[in-house]
Amino acid sequence: MNSAATQIRVVLIRPTHPGNVGAAARALKNMGLERLYVVAPAAFPHVEATARAAGAEDLLAGAVLSPDLDAALAECHYVLGTSARPRHIGWPMLEPAEAGTRLVDESRRGPVALLFGQERSGLTNAELDRCHALVQIPANPAYPSLNLAAAVQVLAYEIRRALGLPEQPRSEESEAPPASANEMEHFYRHLEEVLVDTGFLDPANPRLLMRRLRRLFNRARPDQNEMAILRGILSAVQRVTRKS
């Protein structure tokens, strides 16, 4: 993580809307990245950038403001460009997931860069010329151009996935152990008794009722606490039916 966080530079080239710069900073911090470069922005720093950074002001304040792309790419040994167009003859095209893997991989050998062009026009030919490969986010062909910060978010997400970080603690589906097969059988017998008591199940003509209920409750896989609740409900019903 440390290596990728400090070696992967996300470079926004001539961004028009300062809000996008702030939102990109937030996306990077959310995904555990740290290095934002801003090349020749229309307006930056800017109050809108700060507002949209919302908690990532530190990352925004540490952004490297660069007059040209050369300065932002100095020391980088691998440069990946983003493109909304389906093909650029001469560049390998990567899927976002491949791009994440590749950037993480290359970042182990030194600084790498991921370039985002201007909102409307994308990367210029001169900027494309700096790239080793291009990545395209799959999109609706009728409306393929993502918001700049949204594109940063998707690729930062793929970088984080590629890092294969230890996951955040996974939720256990349930705190109690699952009901055992025995407990399930006791439950089904109890349920059947109650269904007969209430008149819902006719023992002379049971049809497939119990089988269907078994399928339903087996799918739910009750844990032991839930089983205690279910048994409690059955007993409460029986207290009424057997009294009446």
Residues 109-138 touching a copy of itself, rule: CB under 8 A, are: 134, 136-138
What's the min distance (Å) between Cβ of 202 and a copy of itself? 11
Residues 18-77 touching a copy of itself, rule: CB under 8 A, are: 23, 26-27, 29-32, 52, 54-56
Take residue 86 and report the two structure tokens written for it. 């389906």
Q: What is the dihedral of CA 25, 28, 30, 31, to 10 degrees?
A: 180
Residue 240 interacts with a copy of itself (CB under 8 A)? yes
Site string for a copy of itself, 206-225 (x = CB under 8 A): ---x--xx-xxx-xxxx--x
Contact segment (CB under 8 A) with a copy of itself among 8-16, 71-79, 102-110, 228-236 equals 228-236
Give the strand pairing for 78-82 and 93-94. unpaired
Site for a copy of itself (CB under 8 A): how many residues? 79
State how far the Cα of 152 lies from the Cα of 115, in Å rounded to an integer: 10
Residue 177 interacts with a copy of itself (CB under 8 A)? no
Residue 170 interacts with a copy of itself (CB under 8 A)? yes
Identify the residue among 2, 125, 168, 182 touching a copy of itself (CB under 8 A). Answer: 168
Identify the residue among 87, 109, 189, 211 touching a copy of itself (CB under 8 A). Answer: 87
Identify the residue among 3, 6, 121, 241 touching a copy of itself (CB under 8 A). Answer: 241
